[in-house]
Amino acid sequence: MTNTDTNVQAVAALAQQAVAPKDVEPGGIYLVATADGGVQTIDLTSSRYTGHLDRKTGTTTVRDAASFLTYYAKHHDDASEVYSDVEALTVTAVLNAHSADEPDFGDHRLVLGLRRTKAWTEWLALDGKLVDQDRFANFLEDQLPYLETPDAATMLEIAQSIKATTKAEFQSSSRLQSGERKFAFVEDTKASAGAKGDLAIPETFIIAVPPFEGAGAYRMTARFKYRLGGGQLALGFKLEQPEERARAAFADVLNAIAEGIDTPILNGTPA
């Protein structure tokens, strides 16, 4: 290619750029010639130039039913869809879902993502396990606000009694008519006549724990478990159907949402 050809192309490119934009649609849409001989459409009404979004997009996550209802009321339309997933503990609203007649983008969503409370997680972490007396007593003391029957004061006395006998040698256990479990122990096994005593623990107790943040407390029965061997006492508990309580709590959340919206809640997850 000669210098002359190069100069001609350069002049032509400048001429192309000098062509005035052509208004093809009232309101700010233009056709503009480009340096390579093409044509570019420029829409001055788009978000790139106005700074305003063309439509709503994105996913917002909330943590309780009240927040879900507030956001949903502001952004939903007649085509919005709501899905629930009990396994994932989520409720998802597709706010710009397809209507019966027209498709939509489905990319503006609201998600209720329930989070388990610290207390619920701690109770389930120890469920069915046996631990030493000191750890068990400390656990009861930490969970006093959630102990319902026997009451917190009684359970605190039990925890303190358990702590006071951590160095004793336990010799036997028996079930009392009251339903309590009695453990006989000797405090000083080296002495010829060591101090003897009994440790009484209720067969069952009832707790009330909120499964999710922002939810109410749900009652569960816990059955005491123990293992006696070599003079050592290991203690624990077994919760009765904790997952059923969690499902019931999730169902209550769904009911609260269903009462606040006109849209039926579908069982599943959106595409």
pLDDT tens digits in sequence order for the chain, 271 residues long: 555 555 545 545 554 554 555 555 565 666 667 777 677 776 666 556 555 667 899 999 999 999 999 999 999 999 999 999 999 999 999 999 999 999 999 999 999 999 999 999 999 999 999 999 999 999 999 999 999 999 999 999 999 999 988 888 887 788 877 778 888 888 764 444 456 788 888 999 999 999 999 889 999 999 999 998 888 899 999 999 999 999 999 999 999 999 999 999 999 999 8
d(CA 134, CA 192): 27
Burial code (b: 16+ CB inside 10 Å, e: under 16) for 171-180 equals eeeeeeeeeb
Say if residue 65 is exposed, middle or buried (CB neighbours under 10 Å; 0-12, 13-18, 19+). buried
Q: Are residues 99 and 179 in the same domain?
A: no
Residue 135 shares a structural domain with residue 76: no
Q: Do 107 and 140 share a structural domain?
A: no
Write the single-letter amino acid at 163.
K
Distance CA 61, CA 93 (A): 10
**Same domain? 189 vs 130:** yes
**Whole-angstrom distance, CA of residue 146 vs CA of residue 14:** 79
Beta bridge partners of 84: 91, 267
On whether both 23 and 98 belong to a single domain, the answer is: no
Query: 90 with 36, same domain?
Result: no
b/e map 254-271, b = 16+ CB within 10 Å: beebbeebebeeeeeeee
Say yes or no: 231 and 185 in one domain: yes
Same-domain check for residues 28 and 88: no
In this prediction the pTM is: 0.73
Count of the separate structural domains present in the chain:
3
Structural domain boundaries enclosing 171: 118-240
Q: Are residues 161 and 174 in the same domain?
A: yes
The region, left, alpha or beta by phi > 0 then psi within -120 to 50, assigned to residue 145 is alpha
Instruction: Show the beta-strand stretches assigned E in 12-76.
Output: 22-25, 29-33, 39-43, 58-62
List C-alpha distances in Å: 160 to 63, 139, 141: 37, 11, 9
Q: Are 232 and 170 found together in one domain?
A: yes
Q: Check whether residue 92 and residue 176 sit in a common domain.
A: no
Together in a domain, 81 and 166 = no
Residues present in the chain in total? 271
